[in-house]
Amino acid sequence: MMLRYFILAVGLVTLTGCGVAYISPRVTETDGKVRVLPLTADSVRVANGSSYRPKELPSVFFANAGGGGGLRGAGATPPASLDRQNRPAALEMRLPPNVNPGPYEIGVGDVLLLATKTPGNTVEELSGLLAAQNSRQGYTVQDDGAIAIPDVGRVQIAGLTLEEAEAQLFQSLVENQIDPTFSLEIAEFNSKRVSLGGAVAKPTVAPVTLTPLTLDAALAAAGGINTKDLDYASIRLYRDGTLYQIPLNEYLRRPAVQKARLVDGDSVFVDTEYELDKAQAYFREQITLAQFRQTARIQALNELNSEVSLRRAVLQESRDNFRSQIEFDAVDRDYVYLTGEVVKPSRFVLPFGQTASLADALFDNDGFRNETANPSQLYVLRGSPEPGKPDLVTAWHLNGSDASKFLLATKMQMRPNDVIFIAEQPITRWNRVLQQFIPSILTTGGALAVQ
C-alpha cells in the first residue's frame, strides 16, 4: 500500500515536472481585463440595455401575393339607357262634366255648298235635280267669317247655325233681287276639331260635325287604343284649362263614359304611367348588365388568380433561394457560442427579427451535462462595447445551484459573439486529472519496477 502512494506521488511530481498536467478552464478576474458581475434582476436590465438590432428577414418573407390594382376584367359597366318604370298608385277617376253646346255653328274654314235655281224651260224646271246640280257651288268661310257669292257679295255667316245662315242668305238674295230659291248644306267641317294622341293606333284630328262627337267615336277615328297596359293606362281629356282623367278599365266597363260628348278644342290623350314595353326593356337591359358584370367579375377573378399564382411563384422562389443561402452559410448571421460542460459545444444562431435569451441559446443545444457541469459556475462572456477598451470582458455570472435563478436566464438577452461557458465540478476536474496521468504513472511505475 505504501508503495502505491509512493508511486502516485512520484508520478504526480514527474508529470508536473515534465509539464504534463490537466488544465481546467475557469473564469477569473485578472489584470483588470475581466470583470465578473453576478446576474441579478438589476444586472439583467443593465446587460439588456446594450444597443442591439436583430437582423431582419428579407422583405419577400413579409410580402403576400394579393393586392394589385383590383379587379380589372372587361372594364366599367356601361350605364343603363332606360329608366326604371315605377308602378303608380291607383288611378284617380276625374270625369268631365256633361256638355250640350247646342246646334252646330258655322265657323271659319267650313265649306258650304249652295244650290240655287237655274232659269230654263218647263222641262228643266220639272227636272229640279238637274237644275240644282248645274247650280251647286261651294263656298269656304273665310277668316272674316263671310262667304263671297257672285252678284250678292259677302255674307257674314260665321257663328250662325245652319238655319240662321239660310235666313241670312235668303235676306241677301232678296235684297239683290235674286230668286231666293236655294238650298244650303255644309260640305266640309273644318272649324271645330278634337285632337287625339298618345297610345292610339293613328293620332289624328277628328272634326266636330252636325252629329255630336262622342269619346268612343273619336277614339275609333284614331284607330282605337293601342296599349298592352290595361291596369295603369288612362284617357286624359284637356278642356278649357282643366285636365280630366278616365282610367282605361273604367272606360271599358262604363258605356255612359264611352258616350261622353266632346266639344271643339278638346284634347284627348291616351297615356300610361307604367309602360309595359319600357318596363320589359328596362328589365331586359338590367339582366344584360348583370350578366355583363358577372362575366366581367369572373374574368377579373381569373386574371387575379393567375396574377396571384405568378406572384406566389416569384415569392416562393426568392424565399427558397434565401433558405439555400442560409443552408450554405452564405448569409451574414449573428451567433452565440457555447463551450465548457455543455452537451454539445456549438454555436447558436440568433434569430431574425427578435432577441433570444440565455435559456434559448442554452437549451436549444440540449443544455449542460448534469453529471459533469457545475451549475453554480455559468457565465455569459461579453466583449466591451466601450470605445478604447477592446480587451475588456464582462462575465455575467449565473449561480444555477439555486434553480430559481434560472428564471434570470429567460430574461437575459443574448448579443452577437456572446460566449456561454459552464465550468466543471471539482470532482470532474479530479477525475479528469486521474484519467490523464494514471496511464503515465503506470508506465513510469513499470519502468521503475524493471529497474
| 352, 57 Cβ separation under 8 angstroms | yes
DSSP string of 78-128, one letter each residue: PPPSS---PPP-PPPPBPPPP----S-B--TT-EEEEEEPPP--HHHHH-H
**388 neighbors 424 (Cβ within 8 angstroms):** no
Residue 206 is predicted with a pLDDT of 93
Average pLDDT over residues 393-417: 90
Mean pLDDT score, 303-328: 89
Instruction: For residue 84, name the pLDDT band (cuts at 50, 70, 90).
Output: low
Residue 348's alpha-carbon distances to 47, 344, 368, in angstroms, are: 19, 11, 14
**pLDDT beyond 80 at 209:** yes
Residue 419 and residue 366 in contact, taking contact as beta carbons nearer than 8 Å: no
Which DSSP state fits 275?
-
d(C-alpha 183, C-alpha 113), whole Å: 8
Per-residue pLDDT at 86 = 58
Given a contact cutoff of 8 angstroms between Cβ atoms, the answer to whether 402 and 40 are in contact is no
Question: For residues 354 and 364, is the Cβ–Cβ distance under 8 A?
Answer: no
Q: Where are the beta strands (DSSP E) in 225-363?
A: 233-239, 242-247, 261-262, 267-272, 335-340, 346-349
The residue type found at 162 is: L
Note the Cα 375 to chain centre separation in Å: 64
Cα separation of 235 and 226, whole Å? 12
* Residue 279: predicted pLDDT: 53
Reported as type and span, the H/E element at residue 423 is: strand 419-424
Residues ≥6 apart with Cβ < 8 Å to 425: 372, 373, 374
Q: Residue 430: what are its φ and ψ, rounded to 5°?
A: -65, -45
* Banded model confidence at residue 415, pLDDT cuts 50, 70, 90: very high
Q: Which residue has the cell 483588470?
A: 32
Q: Which CATH superfamily is domain 14-55+333-450 in?
A: Outer membrane lipoprotein wza domain like (3.10.560.10)
Query: Does 14 have pLDDT greater than 70?
Result: no
What pLDDT sits at residue 6? 43
335 CB contacts (<8 Å, ≥6 apart)?
A: 347, 348, 349, 350, 416, 417
Q: What is the pLDDT of residue 88?
A: 56
The pLDDT of residue 3: 42
* pLDDT on residue 406: 87
Q: Which residue has the higher pLDDT, 366 or 410?
A: 410
Q: Does domain 193-274 have CATH number 1.10.443.10?
A: no
Kindly indicate the confidence band of residue 194, based on its pLDDT and cuts at 50, 70 and 90.
Answer: very high
Angle of helix 426-450 versus helix 2-17 axis, rounded to 10: 100
What ranges make up the beta strands (E) of 103-227? 111-116, 136-140, 146-149, 153-156, 182-188, 193-198, 204-207, 213-214
- Taking the whole predicted model, whether its pTM rises above 0.95 is answered as no
Per-domain boundaries in the chain: 14-55+333-450, 111-188, 193-274
* Whether pLDDT at 2 is above 50: no
| H-state helical runs in 204-254 | 215-221, 248-253
- Name the least confident of 77-86, 90-99, 224-233, 365-374: 77-86
Average pLDDT (241-268) is 91
Greater pLDDT, 198 or 273:
198
Mean pLDDT value of segment 252-273: 89
For 361-377, how does the pLDDT look when each residue is reduced to its tens digit (9 = 90+)?
988 877 777 778 888 88
Q: Evaluate if residue 338 carries a pLDDT over 80.
A: yes
pLDDT tens by residue, 154-191: 999 999 999 999 999 999 888 888 888 888 999 999 99
Question: Fold match between 111-188 and 193-274?
Answer: no
Please say if the pLDDT value at position 132 is more than 60: no
Of 445 and 92, more confident: 92
pLDDT band of residue 444 (cuts 50, 70, 90) is: low
Q: Quick one: average pLDDT of 435-449?
A: 62
Predicted local distance difference test score (pLDDT) of residue 249: 87
Distance, CA of 193 to CA of 431 (rounded, Å): 136
The 10 Å Cβ neighbour count of residue 282 is 17
Gap between the Cα atoms of 107 and 190, Å rounded: 8
CATH 3.90.1710.10 at 111-188, yes or no? no
- 272 with 227: CB under 8 angstroms? yes
Query: Rounded mean pLDDT of the chain?
Result: 81
Predicted local confidence at residue 449, as pLDDT: 58
**pLDDT given at position 1:** 46
Give percent of the chain with pLDDT exceeding 90.
Answer: 37
Q: For the residues 304-316, what does the mean pLDDT come to?
A: 88
pLDDT of residue 354: 93
**451: pLDDT strictly greater than 60:** no
Calculate mean pLDDT across residues 333-354.
91
pLDDT per position as a tens digit, 374-391: 888 899 999 877 766 667
Higher pLDDT among residues 403 and 91, named by residue: 403
Tens digits of residue pLDDT in 278-297: 556 666 777 787 887 888 88
Tell me, what's the pLDDT at 17? 47
Q: Give the pLDDT of residue 321.
A: 94
